[in-house]
């Protein structure tokens, strides 16, 4: 029995598909071998066939192509401005922040406050998660 490899990179799996396709291995056999080594959730048989078709059509890149998508509005400057506003008054709500930053949704503001700045709600004040119990009692 072979050692299974968990959580492979997509480009790694595509490289294996490209290699086995160059050796003229059938797509069904490629899929069987991938499942044997990488586990059941590696890639569907249909996706293996799609990649084999692309490699046969001359596609050589195994990495994901850049996609055009909606750019993120969250950047370091914006996080700094939100942090400045929070430090002015720790008694704030996301709705109050939304009034100051109407171009950003409430969900994104909540993500900035909780994930990027590591604040959490304690009663009616926002405090840093990294504070110890001694700091909280002061």
61 token code pair = 């890149």
Q: Which residues of 31-56 are buried (b: 16+ CB within 10 A; e: fewer)?
A: bebbbeebeeebbeeebbbebbebbe
Q: What is the mean pLDDT of the chain?
A: 86
Q: Looking at the chain, list the stretches that DSSP marks H as alpha helix, in order from N- to C-terminal side.
A: 10-22, 27-38, 45-56, 76-88, 94-100, 106-111, 133-137
Alpha-carbon span 119 to 133, nearest angstrom: 15
Question: Could you read off the pLDDT of 12-33 as tens digits, one per residue?
Answer: 999 999 999 999 999 999 999 9
Determine if the pTM surpasses 0.95.
no
Strand partners, 119: 128
Per-residue model confidence as pLDDT tens digits over 65-101: 777 777 777 888 889 999 998 888 877 788 888 999 8
Q: Model confidence over 91-113: pLDDT tens digits?
A: 778 888 899 988 888 999 988 98
Q: Is the dihedral of CA 42, 45, 50, 54 positive or negative?
A: positive
Token reading at 18: 């490209």
pLDDT reported for residue 33 = 94
């Amino acid at each position: 029995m072979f050692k299974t490899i968990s959580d492979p990179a997509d480009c790694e799996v595509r490289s294996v598909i490209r290699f086995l396709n160059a050796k003229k291995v059938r797509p069904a056999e490629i899929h069987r071998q991938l499942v044997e080594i990488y586990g059941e959730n590696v890639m569907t048989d249909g996706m293996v066939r799609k990649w084999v078709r692309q490699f046969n059509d001359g596609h050589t890149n195994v990495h994901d192509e850049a996609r055009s998508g909606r750019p993120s509005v969250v950047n370091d400057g914006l996080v700094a401005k939100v942090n400045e506003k929070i430090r002015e008054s720790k008694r704030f709500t996301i709705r109050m922040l939304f009034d100051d930053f109407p171009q950003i949704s409430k969900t994104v503001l909540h993500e900035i406050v909780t994930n990027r700045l590591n604040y959490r709600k304690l009663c009616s004040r926002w405090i840093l998660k990294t504070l110890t119990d001694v700091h909280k009692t002061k």
